[in-house]
Chains A and B, each alone.
Chain A
Amino acid sequence: MKKLIFFILFSSLITSLALARSTGCKEGNCDNGYGKWVYTDKTTYEGEWVATKKHGQGTETWPNGYIYKGEFKESQWNGTGILFFPDGSTYEGEWANGFMNGEGTFTWSDGKQKKGIWKNGSFQE
């Protein structure tokens, strides 16, 4: 029984250490400056940091294929940027609070486009 408890604790320690080594700030300065951060689910952010927050120009890549390239403010997608969807669709335009807000163009993977004003991810007819 003691051996089992020791084994479980030891395994947890090794797993935590392995995770800690593979996540976090991997390159550069992720406090103030330019750096690359890797999250536990393999999402990465590479770009500018201000006071430990994503702020300025950067690229966020999700493991399932979403890629956002553009402006960040207080760690959120804010300003102008382009989001690539996993199937090849894109939205290029203005962002606010992590959503399509303002003027932008949505392009489907087959080339079809929708251009205009967006509010919280919805196209305004």
Chain B
Amino acid sequence: MEVSKNSFKTLSEPFKQFSGLVGIIILIFLTFFILNNIFGEGDELVAKMKIEEERIAEERKLNKLISSLPSGVLVSFDGTDNFKLSDELYEAVCKATKLIPQRAIMGANFLNFRAHEIYTINGNKIDETFVKWDDEKNKCIAGFVVSGNNVGVDETVKVSGEALSFLSTGIDTRVYFIKNF
């Protein structure tokens, strides 16, 4: 022990400083490695971050697309003066749309009396709305869920159909017509 202590003393000063620096760097790396193993999520976290980054990039792309659309009614069918969406735009608008206004819900309720009853009884309350792109059918599906007590019976009704028109406000897009017939 005494011998090794003496031999360290005989080493040159720059070498000693370099060894100390390397030691500190190793210690820092080791500390982070241990802490990362204890508290970090490693690859899982990186994967989550990548997914989130992709989601944000996709959202930005869709927002850019929406702001480029004309304000007004966007439709996916022929025979109106409204802006006609191409197949690609229809899919993109569908994926970017989250809102379903009251009139669209009331319109869909024309052909679903039970949903209309629950909707009215519960003060026009909607439990859930959804807009999703159906890859198999190549269609935009929109709908809503109403639930409540109807003449002593707890009921839940889901209404869904193809979203055929949207309203572009310049800031967002909203489902305007759900064809559930």
Contacts and interface: CB of A to CB of B under 8 A. Distances in A.
Interface of A: 41, 43, 62-66, 83, 85-89, 99-100, 106, 109, 120-122
Highest count of chain B CB atoms <10 Å: which of A62, A64, A99:
A64
B104 interface: yes
Highest count of chain A CB atoms <10 Å: which of B73, B101, B107, B165:
B107
Interface string B109-123: 011110010000000
A89 B176 contact: no
Nearest to B104: A64
B133 interface: no
Given A41-B103, A89-B181, A122-B111, A64 B165 contact: yes
A88 B77 contact: yes
B177 interface: yes
A88 B79 CA distance: 8
A64 B164 contact: no
27 contacts: A41-B101, A41-B103, A43-B103, A62-B103, A63-B167, A63-B176, A64-B73, A64-B104, A64-B167, A64-B177, A65-B165, A65-B176, A66-B107, A85-B179, A86-B75, A86-B107, A86-B165, A86-B176, A87-B164, A89-B181, A99-B113, A99-B116, A100-B110, A109-B77, A109-B79, A122-B111, A122-B113
Highest count of chain B CB atoms <10 Å: which of A65, A88, A100, A120:
A65
- Is chain A's interface secondary structure helix, strand, loop, or mixed overall? loop
Nearest to B120: A98
A109 B101 CA distance: 23
Nearest to A42: B103
Nearest to A86: B177
B164 to A, nearest CB: 6
B67 interface: no
A117 to B, nearest CB: 15
B177 A65 contact: yes
Contact of A87 (B104, B113, B177): B177
B103 A87 contact: no
A83 B165 contact: no
Nearest to A108: B181
